[in-house]
Amino acid sequence: MATKDPQATQLARLAGLVADETRAACLLALLDGRAWTAGELARHAGVAASTLSEHLGKLVGGGLLTEERQGRHRYVRLADERVAQLVEDLAGQVSPGAVHRPRNLRESSAGSAMARGRTCYDHLAGRLGIALTDALTSRGLLRQDTGFALTEAGLGWFDAAGIPLDRSGRRPLARGCLDWTERRPHLAGVSGAALCRHALEAGWCVRIGSERAVKVTPAGALALGELLGIEAGALG
């Protein structure tokens, strides 16, 4: 009798965790990089709190989520950047024809906002993320020909812009992440996270609505125009 491959067993378990619509909805919601309460996720997924609690238990037990408690509230977030990459990459494999069609104006508006600009865990995505990636590439700050990599000029740009890059960990400085609405890779990794964090802290972008959508502020449009030569119309 052949011995089972332990990797095959682990892969099957992982696939089983993701292969549920409620759990998938939770994972997609948590791509905003923030911690959500169980109640918030239950309302988002449209299920009872007791049902959601069971699903969260499986996701935490499977290592896809981490949890913490503050008083009577239970908060969960994605375990790490690798889980976020897995979820976004899987979402990127959905064929355009299979994407959910909005049922009403509210859903349509929310979907349009997400397509214009959103957070993908801790970096920027949508047309905004692509515009930033293209601008960095066209100016010789980012290379995409042999995978994503910051150039020396790119490292200098981040330093001059006052956006520090943490090089102490094993996370790559730059990584391509397939954008599920634009079907092209946007900038992720340490530099993508640093740029997103700075954009939110400096008021270049603000979060809108209850989803992951963000929009560029007038101050952000001015700053990105000066720093990267991006026209306001290209920023989502």
Centre a 10 Å sphere on the Cβ of residue 29 and count the other Cβ atoms it contains.
17
Residue carrying the six token digits 């790559």: 172
Class for domain 6-79, per CATH?
Answer: mainly alpha
Provide the 8-state DSSP code for 230. -
Instruction: State residue 72's pLDDT score.
Output: 78
Both tokens assigned to 124: 């920027």
Confidence of residue 231 (pLDDT cuts 50, 70, 90): confident
- Residue 148's pLDDT is what? 94
Q: For 200, what's the count of Cα atoms within 13 Å in the CB-facing half-sphere? A: 18
For 100-155, the pLDDT digits (tens) are 454 544 444 455 878 889 988 889 999 999 999 999 999 999 999 888 999 999 99
Determine the Cα–Cα distance for residues 172 and 81; give it in Å rounded to an integer: 11
- Spell out the residues 6+ positions from residue 69 whose beta carbon is closer than 8 angstroms to its own: 75
More confident residue, 231 or 165: 165
Question: What is residue 156's predicted lDDT score, i.e. its pLDDT?
Answer: 96
pLDDT at residue 209 in the model: 73
Residue 177 phi, psi (nearest 5): -125, 120
Paired with 205 in beta bridges are: 216
So what's the pLDDT on residue 174? Answer: 95
Query: Over the stretch 25-44, which tens digit does the pLDDT of each residue have?
Result: 999 889 888 889 988 899 98
| Domain residue ranges of the chain, discontinuous segments joined by + | 6-79, 101-234
DSSP per-residue codes, 92-143:
TTS-GGGSPPPSSHHHHHHHHHHHH-EEETTEEEHHHHHHHHHHHHHTTSEE
Distances (CA, A) of 208 to 123, 131, 201, 214, 215: 16, 19, 15, 5, 7
Query: Does the reported pTM lie above 0.85?
Result: no
Most confidently modeled of 81-85, 167-171, 223-227? 223-227
User: Which of 22-26, 163-167, 171-175, 177-181 comes out lowest in average pLDDT?
Assistant: 177-181
pLDDT tens string 57-101: 999 999 999 998 887 778 999 998 889 888 877 876 664 444 445
The DSSP line for 137-188 is HHTTSEE-BTB-EE-HHHHHHHHHTT-----SSSS-S-EEEE-TTTSSEEEE
Among 72, 91, 73, 74, CA closest to 29: 91
Both structure tokens of 50: 């007791």
Work out the average pLDDT over 202-230.
90
Taking every pair of C-alpha atoms in the chain, what is the biggest distance, in angstroms? 67
- Distance, in Å, from the CA atom of 59 to the CA atom of 65, rounded to the nearest integer, reads 6
Coil vs helix vs strand at 233? helix
Q: Which helix (H) or strand (E) holds 214?
A: strand 214-216
Report residue 37: phi and psi, to 5°.
-80, 160
Q: What pLDDT was estimated at residue 107? A: 45
